[in-house]
Amino acid sequence: QQDSIQLVVAAEVQRAVGIDLHTHLLPPTHGPLCLWGIDELLTYHYLVAEYFITAPASMTPKLFYSLPKQKQADTIWKALFIDRLPLSEACRGIVTTLKSLGLQNEWERRSLKAIRAFYATFRNDGVEGAERFCEHVFANSGIEYSIMTNIPFDPNEEMYWKPKRASYSTRFRSALRVDPLLAGDKPTIEAALRSSGYDITLESARQYLRDWCETMKPEYMMASTPHDFVIPEGTLASVSYKQKNTVDSNALKEPFAFVPAVASHAANCSPPEDEAPSIIDEQSDFLSQVLMPVCEELDLPVALKIGAHRGVNPGLKAAGDGVVAFADAGMIARLCTRFPKVRFLATFLSRNNQHEACVLASKFRNLHLYGCWWYCNNPSIIREITKMRMEFLGTAFTAQHSDARVVDQLLYKWPHSRAVIAKVVAEEFVKLMESGCMQITRRQVRDEVQNLFRGSYEQFMKKSLV
């Protein structure tokens, strides 16, 4: 019976149609912002970083990035796929992708030319070819739709939303990215307000967000927090790395301090009618004065990605981002406590935060854990995290998101994750059976698996706390 539960779980994980909760994919109608094809795959920042581990000294990051994309791809192909075996997770992903696209022979021959010729058959058909390719990828990775990362502060993206929102495939849904608000990045916020014709006031900043929500219709707001983002206890203000030194350092060290929820910030923030609207200044707290009130008002969750240290090796650009920062997870507890009507989705970059994250998710109904992010998106760590989460939370979390930047990556990131998740889920079912729960039906297995790939997320998104 244990053998058969393993087979059933494997089959159900395989057939589950999931939602990809966080990606950087954009639809083909976003033209050059929709990345797909072998050259994009090979120049993925994970592979650029790996290439530089063994690159010759003569190849500086500056020189590398000055090469045309195809040349960059050639360089990485030779170094990581011809001179060596593609053993790392990101390299193996290329092999899985090529196999999935029916390019096994081309891979065995290491013929980049033949692989490029395959992609050209789609590329030659312009946007229609890209749409056809995307459709193939979504269907074959068992993903119904992916959630994009849409950045209003990025002028390259703005043109696809304004003056009129371009219509795009239902395979893509929007998420409104608001990093500058969490980072307290006043110059970026002011520049965005100014260039879109808004006043430089907190109410205008809220209106700016509302207007973007109206345009993008996001599933949620989202941000990666700065690596040293903290919310000290006992104060309303969010404190970003820029302001941190002005705060009592003992308060920052306090790992857990549950502060009673204060009165609605939406109410605090709307200026009384006879008062001048508050201007943006050094004291402005964009998190509690702008983001949280709008989330409450529109009943929109916020997805946080916590613990990435940007620009650790700036010359490498995105490949130099993200040394893992052990985060103060108590910050999530404070957010959930102070903003009980706002739902938070959270994922941590540090393996060391995962245990604490599980405990927190079992304390706050407005917190939902999702995915194994970036440096945690390796089979050994996915295994560990998923097991820990199941032991704490059953299936009340979302097992994975891809963080794909290139459409084709769905073809490897999802099968690689499914393989690990299936093993973990089967082990948990076996344990349950050994404890005496012998009558498990296929339907029950299906439902629990479904929870991990979309159901728990959908329930969380439907739950209104306002």
Report the alpha-carbon distance of residue 73 to residue 170 in Å, rounded: 31
Cα 151 from Cα 41, distance rounded (Å): 22
Q: Quick one: what does residue 454 bind among Zn ion, ligand REL, none, with the CB cut-off 5 to 8 Å set by partner type?
A: none
- Say which entry of Zn ion, ligand REL, none residue 200 contacts (CB below 5 to 8 A, set by partner kind): none
The answer to the question of residue 224 lying near ligand REL (CB under 6 A) is yes
The pairing of strands 367-369 and 344-348 is parallel
Q: Count H helices and E strands in the chain, helices first.
A: 23, 10
CB of 371 to Zn ion, least distance (A): 10
The rounded distance, in Å, linking the Cα atoms of 371 and 259 is: 28
Q: Decide: is 403 part of the binding site for Zn ion (CB under 5 A).
A: yes
Q: Identity (one letter) of the amino acid at 277?
A: P
C-alpha triplet 182, 186, 190: angle, nearest 5°: 120
Residue 346 beta carbon to ligand REL: minimum distance, rounded to whole angstroms = 13
Single out the residue of 328, 403, 408, 428 in contact with ligand REL (rule: CB under 6 A). 403
Here the tokens at position 417 are 């994750």
The yes or no reply on residue 305 touching ligand REL (CB under 6 A) is: yes
State yes or no: residue 405 binds ligand REL (CB under 6 A).
yes
**CA 304 vs CA 175, 233, 236, 331, 440: distances in Å:** 12, 19, 19, 11, 35
Residue type, 444: Q
* Residue 17 interface partner, choices Zn ion, ligand REL, none, CB cut-off 5-8 Å depending on type: none
Q: Rounded distance, CA 375 to CA 50, Å?
A: 13
Question: Closest CB to ligand REL among 352 and 378?
Answer: 378
296 binding ligand REL? (CB under 6 A): no
Binding string, residues 350-389; x marks residues near Zn ion by CB under 5 A: ----------------------------------------
| Rounded least distance, CB 309 to ligand REL, Å | 11
The SS3 of residue 51 is helix
Question: From Zn ion, ligand REL, none, which one binds at residue 448 (CB under 5 to 8 Å depending on kind)?
Answer: none
CB of 187 to Zn ion, least distance (A): 23
The answer to whether 401 contacts ligand REL (rule: CB under 6 A) is: no
Buried b (16+ CB within 10 A) or exposed e, 340-364: bbbbbbbbbbbbebbebbbebbeeb
By CB under 6 A, name the binding residues for ligand REL.
149, 224, 305, 318, 321, 374, 403, 405
